[in-house]
Structure 1
Amino acid sequence: MEGREESVSVSVMETVTSNGERGSPTMEMLFDEMKVPSWREQITVRALVVSLMLGVFFSFVVMNLNLSTGIIPSLNLAAGLLGYFMINAWTKVVSKFGFVKHPFTRQENTVIQTCVVAISGVAFSGGFGSYLFGMSAVIAAQSDNGNTPENIKDPSLKWMIPFLFAVSFIGLFSVAPLRRIMIIDHKLVYPSGTATAHLINSFHTPQGANLVRKQVSVLFKCFSFSFAWAFFRWFYTAGHDCGFSSFPTFGLKAYENKFYFDFSATYVGVGIMCPYVVNLSLLAGSILSWGIMWPYIESKKGDWYDEKLSPNSLLGLQGYKVFIGIAIILGDGLFNFFSVLVRTIHVMSMARMREPSSTFIPDAHASSLSYDELRRKRVFLEDQIATKYALIGYLIFAVISIVAVPFMLPQLKWYHILVIYIMAPLFAFCNSYGCGLTDWSLASSYGKLAIMIFGAWVGVNGGVLAGLASCTVMMSIVSNASDLMQDFKTGYLTLASPRSMFISQAIGTAIGCVVAPSIFWIFYKAFPLGVPGGGYPAPYATVYRGIALLSVGGLSSLPKHCIRLCLIFFLISFFISAIKEVMKNRNWRLYFYMPSIMAMAIPFFLGSYFVIDMCFGSFILYIWEKKDIRHAGAFAPAIAAGMICGDGIWSLPASILSLAKVKPPICMKFLSRATNAKVDAFLMKTGPDITTRL
């Protein structure tokens, strides 16, 4: 929406194209008289300070989402928006004290966005809600197998911080020399990076400033409301299943099957951010699983599985929930893996077959566009990142990791890590190229592949832990590589130096390696993590440990018909993904109504409570767009970001209160009429002093 607003506002500034027609100036024409700062001037002290503040803030938000549902929307736009606002506020305050005021450029804004996303990105790629936490005894206790000491490692800052430092940087060096091939030669789109760049460019044009101020105002109003609402909800959570988060909106029977609205501003905000098809897919998955499948399988208790088992045992109903969900995820992920791989190879082969003269031929109607490209290309190629330095950096960090990681995780030997680092550059390149084509990162698929390979390689004695650790190493490399290339695309479109992008990404990664585990440690000490039905169930930790158990041969112990159902859902998932790809390539309208298979799998573990909230967010956005699509497009992302951030940052004071043993004063709980009558009868029978004795 910002792009459309900008095109209207600059239309009064006309220029003449080469064919004599009058038209609007391009983006780079608007900035033509502004000096492009050097890469050293782009990385300022104030940019790093603001990046640290926002990085810590967003890390709390990401960790909160990571440990609750595992659904994390893109926060790039919010990072760029808040970075713009905070630096503007900074310069106004500093100028009042007589200090020299340096102009705030779009390049500096890009550095802030890159650094903030790198800091908060470690909170996700570090696997604190998935593979890293899946190593813990808490998650292992939910299974009756694979619980040997060799397959368990509890979280500790003593090993998590050095482990992240050892494995998080090598991905930056793996694709840095390929920036020209990706961005200029193949002209890959990188949709998220392009969208972020257009937003930052609009911030720094005079026409965009008024809109940004309104967006920031709306964001902070929603932030304040969301924070206050989370604080209010806290007062009613003095016991288990208490408060608004346990409100039986559709009745107690529906509540037992996880169908209820839990009044979470976070999930409503996420629903506003996510596409309609994602939210409806979540709803379809929750109805299929908790509305149909799980009640049916539970009726087979005593026949399909032992009815005396713990509800959280993978040998009982929980096993169906986890492994059928894994089968769906693997089916969709495997198809997308091969689809993107084939598409990447095809596009690259077609590019090689083209004659050099046909790569780019500007015509008369594209003279303004060619001007932008020529200027961006010139700036992009000024600050080279020498291939030899990238190779040296890769080798240095590879050696550090090969030596250090086996001391922290003895189950993963030096030769295992060596094989990972031989495979990783190819995977990093494929993922970065595919992400540029489709904006779809398959880092998690590469991580699951690593679990299967190295878990099976090591075997039963330590294979679970080795598989999860190899996933961490692989995910860090592949995810950081695609993130860096997205940042290069953003920098290309904002004339930010590739060198400043690389350095800010490295600085952000270093900060994240300290901030992310520290924030996780606060959650770990303040809240019961990984408990099904709790506030932070960490569902993907169970998923990844389940995949690791499969890799070391745990199939034979699964409950009756579980393998057969897994195979059926795997094939259905693969088949539907293939149909979607055909529809997409043939431009069939029905493609836009096909469900997201990956989204459908998530409620299989968690239930529908967050799905109802997200669908409510979609409903709000739908009504708003019907009434005023222009303002909805401009302000809906700011409202969603404010709701997510306000509710997410409440986890910080909530954690402090929990550590200080300060408990909420009220428990608001709902009972059926029959249960309430029994409670009343018990209280009348016991006498008026029941409260004192309780």
Structure 2
Amino acid sequence: MATERNFGDGGGREEESYYADEVEEKTRMRRNKFGKTMSSSMELELDSVEKIFEAKEVPPWQKQLTVRAFVVSFILGVLFTFIVMKLNLTTGIIPSLNVSAGLLGFFFVKTWTKLIQKAGMLKQPFTRQENTVIQTCVVATSGIAFSGGFGSYLFGMSDIVAKQSKEANSAQNIKDPSLGWMISFLFVVSFLGLFSVVPLRKIMVVDFKLTYPSGTATAHLINSFHTPQGAKLAKKQVRALGKFFSFSFLWGFFQWFFTAGDGCGFVNFPTFGLQAYEHKFFFDFSATYVGVGMICPYLVNISLLLGAVVSWGLMWPMINNQRGNWYPADLPPSSLSGLQGYKIFIAIAMILGDGVYNFIKVFGRTIQGLYNQFSRKDPSITTVLPVAGAGGGSGNSTSPTTLPPPLTYDEQRRTELFLKDQIPVWIAAGGYISIAVVSAVLVPHIFHQLHWYHIVVIYIIAPVLAFCNAYGTGLTDWSLASTYGKLAIFTIGAWVGASHGGVLAGLAACGVMMNIVSTASDLMQDFKTGYMTLASPRSMFISQVIGTAMGCVIGPCVFWLFYKAFDDLGQPGSEYPAPYALVYRNMSLLGVEGFSALPKNCLMLCCIFFSAAILVNGVRDLVGPRWAKFIPLPMAMAIPFYLGGYFAIDMCVGSLILFVWGKVNKEKADAFGPAVASGLICGDGIWTLPSSILALVGVKPPICMKFLKGGVNTRVDAFLRTN
């Protein structure tokens, strides 16, 4: 999941919406912070990492896969799955957790090995390769919480979400969550992407030398942790993370006491007055989104706030004034034929406009990059697809004629070890075909609306799209997994048809496609990280497989806990509204029923905002990075169209904290900002576990703190006195 899944690890998901220039800025910041806060020996790392580690023996791939690594990965995987699940079910914005995974993995194993060493029982020291295995496994595990669709396509199949759309909610278009089919579905679709790009790892990493900014940044962090200076800084970062983890957890616990009823607690505090509160403008004291705001680029947070102002401050009040004209005045608030329809479909139009533009942009750069690679006239650079593992033999040696001459000592060292432990092509091809056959048989049993030939068509096309996504991610750090998923929604949904369960078929096909192309780009990011830390490709692949397998069980179980613990899960205005579930369902509805699903004048507004998203993106690219940072991101603007601006205000507070901290002490802000943010996110995220357990056992908060208008409060007091 080194694609972030998150803000910095490949954020091509519309929920995350981070553009390459923003990601690269974060990457440079993370890399440079070590040069600013450490000694001159640390500065050498940026020029020649491997000379620092020259005296350390690289363990064989089998010894990189330790029991302690996977025990730590499991614990952190559960922690981060709770965090990602909470974010999925609240706003859908998920920051990069790669730094936290690498840092906490380093801390836990380093502490364990020190204790064992003092007891004289240490048999294998902790290495950066083992640290890379942990980071890979953790993000693969928690990544399933995103690609599994628990906050989007999978939950969008449920009766809870179908009732909100009031359309296409017949039995054949509904499938309520169940642990059995969710785990089975994820197991048969989540591994195909891994096998689809394994043979291309040498092309992407060694021959094409693709950047993979997030994978590179993660590698720099892990390398720095394992120097003496880096270890000292890592300890300080962990302490900062621990302090704010504790604060965030205790703050969540404190807030729980005041949430005894609907609309109660600090999360409903009318910070700017009750009228602003009614228009979703308030600060809800969420430590999670303050932390997310500290990680996100400033432009993302400002774009979110601007989107909230444009929608809830201007558009929705204007459209609401057209009640009785554009739509019947007596419609329920959840009806798609009323104001709710404008909120959902205009947001979808912006998301699709942004997705179409970036698909064309990234796909175009992919084609151009491939053309440039294969049209080079330099005879020292191969123009033949040198598939990893091809050519027979054990793969323990590589002919120097197939490689461009290494430019540095680091490249020579890394390439030698990267090509040493090859993964044979027959394993990748056999694994893909075997899983595809099993999937083509089982998926139609899980979703009877899909037939085997629908699945076969997806699996024929998927490897090409997986390659394009992995290559495009290497160029731009931008994964288009969700865009390919939307493509499957519209094509398969229309193919099946509304009368045969096309809505559900489109959502299921989205899940199949998203899992394939997402895991493909994730694995290639991890290969890049492993290349730069001398971790074996075999250990990377195995840790990704194990992490994915853990995620296929942990993800559904964590979602099931939320599903059973919170009765209002998925309801607008609830603690966990799962906004993208309704968005994805209505995308599928639009695909099978066409524009007839839209209320009056909504199509015109959708076309305007679809075009505006494309235009704004075009202007951003036209003016260049220098001025683009002053132009908002359409994808980020679309998110609050449905939810409101409360979380955007939280995130802007996080940006403000980081900005002021940077003005006071930039070095400390750069070094400890990500750790503080991670602590805030992790503490508040893990509080959902005990709060869910309390809800399951029927323990209710004792107090309801609610804010009323003065006149309403007077009437309430009078009512209480007379009763």
Aligned match of 1:330 in 352, 364, 374? 352
Aligned ranges 1:259-278 → 2 under 5 Å: 259-278=281-300
Q: Give 1:98 deviation, angstroms.
A: 4.2
Aligned match of 1:308 in 301, 310, 330? 330
- 1:385 counterpart SS class: coil
- 2:325 counterpart SS class: coil
Distance across 1 between alignment mates of 2:591 and 2:30: 47
The answer to whether the Cα contact below 8 Å between 2:30 and 2:217 also exists between their aligned partners in 1 is no
Q: Give 1:94 deviation, angstroms.
A: 2.9
Distance across 1 between alignment mates of 2:153 and 2:46: 51
The answer to whether the Cα contact below 8 Å between 2:99 and 2:221 also exists between their aligned partners in 1 is yes
Q: Tell me which residue corresponds to 2:388.
A: none
Deviations 1:37-70 (A, max 9, x none): 1110000000010000000110000000000110
Q: Give 1:111 deviation, angstroms.
A: 0.1
Gaps of 5+ in 1: 16-22, 361-366, 687-694
Aligned ranges 1:348-427 → 2 under 5 Å: 348-357=370-379, 359=381, 370-427=408-465
Q: Tell me which residue corresponds to 1:363.
A: none
Q: Give 1:577 deviation, angstroms.
A: 1.2
Gaps of 5+ in 2: 1-28, 383-404
1:591 aligns with 2:628: yes
Aligned ranges 1:157-196 → 2 under 5 Å: 157-196=179-218
Aligned ranges 1:644-663 → 2 under 5 Å: 644-663=681-700
1:531 aligns with 2:571: yes
- 2:40 counterpart SS class: coil
Q: Tell me which residue corresponds to 1:628.
A: 665
Distance across 2 between alignment mates of 1:651 and 1:312: 27
Aligned match of 2:599 in 559, 575, 598? 559
1:504 aligns with 2:543: yes
Cα RMSD after superposing both structures: 1.6
Q: Give 1:7 deviation, angstroms.
A: 3.8
- 2:573 counterpart SS class: coil
Q: Tell me which residue corresponds to 1:545.
A: 585
Q: Tell me which residue corresponds to 1:112.
A: 134
Deviations 1:10-53 (A, max 9, x none): 525999xxxxxxx9962100001111111100000000100000
Residue type of the partner of 1:474? M
Structure 2 CA distance for partners of 1:614 and 1:5, relative to 1, 3 Å: closer
Residue type of the partner of 1:552? V
Distance across 2 between alignment mates of 1:348 and 1:595: 31
Aligned match of 2:655 in 618, 632, 638? 618
Residue type of the partner of 2:64? Q
The answer to whether the Cα contact below 8 Å between 1:144 and 1:313 also exists between their aligned partners in 2 is yes
Aligned match of 2:701 in 664, 667, 689? 664
Structure 2 CA distance for partners of 1:471 and 1:14, relative to 1, 3 Å: closer
The answer to whether the Cα contact below 8 Å between 2:406 and 2:412 also exists between their aligned partners in 1 is no
Q: Tell me which residue corresponds to 1:439.
A: 477
The answer to whether the Cα contact below 8 Å between 2:570 and 2:578 also exists between their aligned partners in 1 is yes
Deviations 1:561-585 (A, max 9, x none): 011111111111111111212223x
Deviations 1:184-214 (A, max 9, x none): 1110000000000000000001121110010
Distance across 2 between alignment mates of 1:57 and 1:275: 24
The answer to whether the Cα contact below 8 Å between 1:13 and 1:25 also exists between their aligned partners in 2 is no
1:600 aligns with 2:600: no
Residue type of the partner of 2:585? R
Q: Give 1:305 deviation, angstroms.
A: 1.0
The answer to whether the Cα contact below 8 Å between 1:91 and 1:101 also exists between their aligned partners in 2 is no
The answer to whether the Cα contact below 8 Å between 1:25 and 1:368 also exists between their aligned partners in 2 is no
Distance across 2 between alignment mates of 1:651 and 1:509: 23
The answer to whether the Cα contact below 8 Å between 2:265 and 2:706 also exists between their aligned partners in 1 is yes
- 1:277 counterpart SS class: helix
Distance across 1 between alignment mates of 2:440 and 2:34: 50
Q: Tell me which residue corresponds to 1:482.
A: 521
Aligned match of 1:60 in 74, 82, 92? 82
Distance across 1 between alignment mates of 2:615 and 2:282: 32
Aligned ranges 1:75-86 → 2 under 5 Å: 75-86=97-108
Structure 2 CA distance for partners of 1:113 and 1:612, relative to 1, 3 Å: same
Residue type of the partner of 2:667? R
Q: Give 1:685 deviation, angstroms.
A: 2.6
Structure 2 CA distance for partners of 1:10 and 1:249, relative to 1, 3 Å: closer
The answer to whether the Cα contact below 8 Å between 1:223 and 1:645 also exists between their aligned partners in 2 is yes
Aligned match of 2:722 in 685, 690, 693? 685
Aligned match of 1:568 in 608, 630, 633? 608
Aligned match of 2:486 in 444, 448, 459? 448
Deviations 1:638-660 (A, max 9, x none): 00000000000000000000001
Q: Give 1:354 deviation, angstroms.
A: 1.1
Residue type of the partner of 1:485? M
- 1:91 counterpart SS class: helix
The answer to whether the Cα contact below 8 Å between 1:12 and 1:24 also exists between their aligned partners in 2 is no
1:428 aligns with 2:466: yes
Distance across 1 between alignment mates of 2:376 and 2:556: 48
Deviations 1:344-396 (A, max 9, x none): 11111111111234659xxxxxx996100000000000000111210110000
Aligned match of 1:494 in 533, 537, 544? 533
The answer to whether the Cα contact below 8 Å between 2:35 and 2:42 also exists between their aligned partners in 1 is no
The answer to whether the Cα contact below 8 Å between 1:243 and 1:669 also exists between their aligned partners in 2 is yes
Q: Give 1:680 deviation, angstroms.
A: 1.8
Distance across 2 between alignment mates of 1:597 and 1:268: 22
Distance across 1 between alignment mates of 2:687 and 2:520: 32
The answer to whether the Cα contact below 8 Å between 2:34 and 2:42 also exists between their aligned partners in 1 is no
Aligned match of 1:218 in 240, 261, 273? 240
1:466 aligns with 2:505: yes
Distance across 2 between alignment mates of 1:114 and 1:310: 47
The answer to whether the Cα contact below 8 Å between 1:11 and 1:24 also exists between their aligned partners in 2 is no
Paired residues in the alignment total 670
- 1:665 counterpart SS class: coil
TM-score (norm 2): 0.91
Distance across 2 between alignment mates of 1:371 and 1:544: 49
Deviations 1:581-618 (A, max 9, x none): 2223xx5x221211111100000010011111000000
The answer to whether the Cα contact below 8 Å between 1:26 and 1:368 also exists between their aligned partners in 2 is no
Q: Give 1:4 deviation, angstroms.
A: 3.5
Residue type of the partner of 1:673? G
Q: Give 1:558 deviation, angstroms.
A: 2.1
Q: Give 1:97 deviation, angstroms.
A: 4.5
Deviations 1:630-683 (A, max 9, x none): 110000000000000000000000000000100000000001111111112222
Residue type of the partner of 1:645? C
The 10-residue stretch of structure 1 (104-113 or 142-151) with the greater mean CA deviation from structure 2: 142-151
The answer to whether the Cα contact below 8 Å between 2:462 and 2:517 also exists between their aligned partners in 1 is yes
1:347 aligns with 2:369: yes
Distance across 1 between alignment mates of 2:43 and 2:173: 67
Distance across 1 between alignment mates of 2:33 and 2:53: 18
Structure 2 CA distance for partners of 1:14 and 1:604, relative to 1, 3 Å: closer
Q: Give 1:313 deviation, angstroms.
A: 1.2
